Amino acid sequence: MIVVLAQAATAAEIEQISHRIRCLGCDSQHITGAERSVLAVVGTPHFSTSELSQLPGVAQVLRIGRPYKLASREIRHEPSRVRIGASVTVGGEQIVVMAGPGLIENAVTLSDTAAHCFACGINVMRVDAFSTRESPYAFQGLGLEALEHIQALRQDTSMAVVSEAASAAHVAHLAPVVDGLRIEGRQMSNEALLLAAAESGLPILLERAPHATIDEWLHAAERLLTAGAEDRLILCERGIRSFETATPDTLDLASIVVLRERSHLPVLVDPSLGTGSREYVGPMARAAVAAGADGVVVQVHPRPQLALSGGAHSLFFEQLRSLVRELQTIAPVVGRRLDLRTTRPRYVEVAENVADVAYQGEPGAFSELAARQVFGDQESLMPCPSFRRTFEAVASGTVRYGIVPVENTLGGSIPENFDLLSEFDVSIVAETRLRVVHNLIANRGTSLEMIRKIYAHPQAAAQCDSFIRQHPDWTVYQVYDTAGSVKMIQDEAVLDGAGIARADVAEALNMEIVASGIESHPENYTRFLVFSLPGKAGEGCNKASLVFVTHDRPGALMETLQVFARHDMNLTRLESRPVPGRPWVYRFYVDIEGSLDHAMLQQLLPHVVELKLLGEYPSA
């Protein structure tokens, strides 16, 4: 049973409702979401909903069909997000990769593995001091000795550490030195361990037992949540027992989809334990991301053939690097981004109490989604009415970063933002690519046949040109933002018009999707650039952008391009833009793949009238 609270419910009214629930023999837990606040009735309610529905502050009382309540999506519609360490969020728009050697064998192996994970951009390591092994003769780990190695690892790197707690006693030893606890599947019904983990205050990775159904797994999650692990619990699919003998367990990727429907908890997948073979880890990790997992957990070892545990399913270092690259490619296809240290923008020092990121548009715009992909859910966002205002906010120190779209695979370039990059004293620090799925959104009751007006951002209209041309009686009106177009239709109660925007906008505004996936081609991607005040380039930069103006003489552009060729610089983009106020003079914008040769910049100077380095940054 859940009690949906009225929006105007006061603290006193909420306490009165909680008191009444206790008097009826149950307990309650207050859960505040983005859309609504509820009191979850914990226990078995043997009373009618009318006992609570008439109390002040109550909007509605609902019975939940499933026996688990706090883990249910009926309680909390929006997905949970769990913070691990200082900077990693599981859930949301980013996909997390956890990697490590499993059981710690010695300091050298751990240090070697950590260095390679760090180089790949991984932010969370899975390392174990203790373990639950089926055979008493198998390597059980170093125990308390390993805690010193974990502490040294956290001091030497910026990576968070998640480690297995095999008993309640282990929790006390691990809590001071790790950032999260892992409960192995066979321990998911260990009541003492669950309570100790919940009381630790640390994030908890709860694996599915090989013999457990999804409902049984969620019952274990419910036990942790009722013990106080709210906003700290992550589920991990690691395979189940079946009649199949080709692999030790069968990795149940269908559970991701089922859990998305039934629960708000984030879900990771462990293809190493789930398949038992390193050759299967990559394909199943890619499939997990495509199915909607919030991340993957993989085992990696410098010499898997000599590993004391899990060698058969441990990746070689090169296999880990390849997997990270592959997941980077797949993530944008499902509208997400891999959370890697190497692709995070460098930190920018500005005044205190400022917003973190400025973007153009209303909440729900594609630029907001791109910002969440890059920065996660912890940073504050500031919507701006125009691209220029976004640049002005960064240049004035009002925000740390700005993010703007610069080109689309269907609609082409966004010239205004290239001009603004040249005009303002800012530097590109990151990029991301977002797959864009457009929807035709209208007020409820509006059908496709009723529509005569389309309100859309020029880029959105260009990307949906094929669909729009199928309706010659439509008139397209340009607006400054995709989400803003839908908001305007709602505010003005337009019944013969529709906007083009993300599906999330329709849900947030309680509008109706008249047609979905209306972009001209499914391979519709937009490239966004993140910029800040100028500063030293961050780590992992493998791309650079320049703008220059050549002399007005025959062969000037060719001479300039030859300088790039002599330095073996691969140009991935070359575009010209007219210089405002100087008729028939053009700026050339160039993207360079690989590390920038700064000596080349000096050699460019005799061939150009103007030259500006727009930024060095990690490639998306």
pTM of the predicted protein model: 0.73
Domain 87-342: give its CATH code: 3.20.20.70
Task: Flag whether pLDDT at 72 surpasses 70.
Answer: yes
| Confidence at 312, pLDDT banded by 50, 70, 90 | very high
Task: Flag whether pLDDT at 619 surpasses 70.
Answer: yes
| pLDDT given for residue 63 in this prediction | 78
> Comparing 597 with 312, which gets the higher pLDDT?
312
| pLDDT given for residue 613 in this prediction | 92
Task: Flag whether pLDDT at 50 surpasses 70.
Answer: yes
User: What average pLDDT does the structure give for the chain?
Assistant: 90
Task: Flag whether pLDDT at 351 surpasses 60.
Answer: no
| pLDDT given for residue 227 in this prediction | 92
For 537-554, write each residue's pLDDT tens digit: 767 788 999 999 999 889
For 127-144, write each residue's pLDDT tens digit: 999 987 777 778 888 889
45-53: long-range pairs with CB below 8 Å, 24+: 45/1, 49/1, 51/20, 51/24, 52/3, 52/17, 52/20, 52/21
| Confidence at 279, pLDDT banded by 50, 70, 90 | very high
Write the class of the CATH domain 2-62: alpha beta
For 317-345, write each residue's pLDDT tens digit: 999 999 999 998 898 888 888 888 766 67
* Domain range list for the chain: 2-62, 87-342, 344-436, 439-516, 537-617
| pLDDT given for residue 34 in this prediction | 62
Q: How far apart are CA 3 and CA 400, in angstroms?
A: 41
| Element spanning 476, H or E | strand 475-478
> Comparing 603 with 354, which gets the higher pLDDT?
603
| Confidence at 354, pLDDT banded by 50, 70, 90 | low
> Comparing 361 with 252, which gets the higher pLDDT?
252
Q: What CATH superfamily classification does 537-617 receive?
A: ACT domain (3.30.70.260)
Q: How far apart are CA 439 and CA 201, in angstroms?
A: 42
At 250, give phi and psi (nearest 5°): -110, 120
| Confidence at 35, pLDDT banded by 50, 70, 90 | low
Q: How far apart are CA 368 and CA 528, in angstroms?
A: 11
**First and final CA of the chain: distance in angstroms?**
45
Q: Which residues are catalytic?
A: 526, 528
Q: Is 455 helix (H, G, I), strand (E, B) or coil?
A: strand
| Element spanning 326, H or E | helix 317-330
**439-516 has CATH 3.60.15.10 classification:** no
344-436 fold: D-Maltodextrin-Binding Protein; domain 2 (3.40.190)
298-301: long-range pairs with CB below 8 Å, 24+: 298/97, 298/98, 298/99, 298/270, 298/271, 298/272, 298/323, 299/99, 299/100, 299/101, 299/102, 299/126, 299/272, 299/273, 300/99, 300/100, 300/101, 300/113, 300/116, 300/117, 301/101, 301/102, 301/109, 301/113
Do domains 2-62 and 537-617 share one topology? The answer is: yes
For 371-424, write each residue's pLDDT tens digit: 988 887 777 899 999 999 999 999 998 899 999 999 999 888 999 999 999 999
* DSSP code string of 526-545: EEEEEEESS----TT--EEE
By DSSP bridging, strand 337-338 and strand 295-299 are unpaired
For 82-135, write each residue's pLDDT tens digit: 999 988 999 988 899 999 998 999 999 999 999 999 989 899 999 999 987 777
| pLDDT given for residue 117 in this prediction | 94
Q: Is 207 helix (H, G, I), strand (E, B) or coil?
A: strand
Q: What is the CA radius of gyration of the chain?
A: 27
Q: What is the mean pLDDT of residues 494-507?
A: 92
| Confidence at 347, pLDDT banded by 50, 70, 90 | low
